[in-house]
Amino acid sequence: MADLLGQLEALAKGAREAIGSAADEKALEDLRVRFLGKKGELSAVLRGMGALPAEERPRVGEVANRVRDEVEALLADAKGRLDARKLEAELAGPPIDVTLPGRRLLPRGHRHPITRATEDISAIFARLGYEVASGPEIELDWFNFEALNIPPDHPARDMQDTFYVEVSTLGDGAPDGSVLLRTHTSPVQIRAMQRLGVPPVRIICPGRVYRSDYDQTHSPMFHQVEGLCVDEGITFADLKGTLAAFARAYFGEGTRTRFRPSYFPFVEPGAEVDVSCSICGGTGRLPVPGGQLPPDRATRRCGTCKETGWLEVLGAGMVHPKVLENGGFDPKRYSGFAFGMGVERMAMLRYGIDDLRLYFENDLRFLEQF
């Protein structure tokens, strides 16, 4: 036993000297391995314990533990000392100018096509005097449906199925089942009217929305831009003029617009708005490259507009009196129009993209084209 205790004493002494004079972190790590590592000096002493009579082992074990604790403390102290010294040296050295440009030229990233389209659309409406508003993506049923004249049993809800959360688990006092992922940006209409309190209201709201959809032109999460204009004397002519100006700014000067009657519970009358096809210029046909072809073979069908010459781009209409009331406005005095468009679709039509899923696959070969 005396032999092992002597070895432990020698180990502790050796450690105090060596650790005290270690010059850097690498030297400290080597010393940790030398004294405490699996194949280190302490393990070698402990292996010798097997040959001791059982009654002597606890005493040696106790001393071995004390030595290990001491060596660990010495290593920690030395590390603290080295760190402090390094910091002092850095502070005393020449200052680092964090404002200098980087030395390596990394390729610059750029905005995602959806972000770009959203910003382009917002910029056009900003020039027309619209302010950007926002609302929550996790929305109350009341704002997403009821306030927009879509009661619980209304068939329009089937087209906008989404994820519902039982409110009892959120505990904010609203009735059960009334929290959902918003299915369109239209709830912001109500929120904006309530927030502003008095007309004029001229807002657009870009944002994410959710539906139970998935195919080449529909995804479960997508983006919309909502628009709302309310004041005294706003008419359908204002809606037409605004959207025609927008279509020309977004798709190009010669773009024509047409309105088809449609139904959304929150507008009356409502319309689907088409623009002349930005890919074929509204002719429905595209020129076939490659020399002098006979007239019947010089053009081919435009796949984007399916040869109709028209692209359906958004829903719009005059704000329903009930919606104005829910927003806190007197429908006898004020009128307004609203519209809502899908950003993925707007970018697809502008850039000639045929599969919406490409936006979300993050394949750089696709993204780098924009």
Q: Which residues form the interface with ligand FA5 (CB under 6 A)?
A: 184, 186, 211, 213, 218-219, 222, 224, 226, 264, 267, 270, 314-317, 338-342, 344-345, 356
- Which is nearer to ligand FA5, 153 or 215 (by Cβ)? 215
Least CB distance to ligand FA5 at residue 348 (A): 9
- Which is nearer to ligand FA5, 206 or 317 (by Cβ)? 317
Torsion of CA 20, 25, 26, 27, to 10 degrees: 0
Least CB distance to ligand FA5 at residue 297 (A): 34
Cα–Cα distance for residue pair 217/78, rounded to 1 Å = 63
Phi first, then psi, for residue 235 (nearest 5°) are: -125, 175
The CA–CA distances, whole Å, from 286 to 128, 283, 304, 348 equal: 33, 8, 10, 17
Least CB distance to ligand FA5 at residue 237 (A): 17
Contact 57, 49 (CB under 8 A): yes
- Which is nearer to ligand FA5, 41 or 344 (by Cβ)? 344
Single out the residue of 48, 44, 41 nearest to residue 14, CA to CA. 41
Least CB distance to ligand FA5 at residue 184 (A): 3
- Which is nearer to ligand FA5, 71 or 327 (by Cβ)? 327
- Which is nearer to ligand FA5, 329 or 339 (by Cβ)? 339
- Which is nearer to ligand FA5, 8 or 313 (by Cβ)? 313
Least CB distance to ligand FA5 at residue 227 (A): 7
Which tokens sit at 105?
């030229």
Least CB distance to ligand FA5 at residue 278 (A): 15
- Which is nearer to ligand FA5, 243 or 267 (by Cβ)? 267
Provide the 10 A C-beta neighbour count for residue 129: 9
Least CB distance to ligand FA5 at residue 177 (A): 21
- Which is nearer to ligand FA5, 307 or 312 (by Cβ)? 312
Least CB distance to ligand FA5 at residue 179 (A): 19
Closest residue to ligand FA5 using C-beta atoms: 342
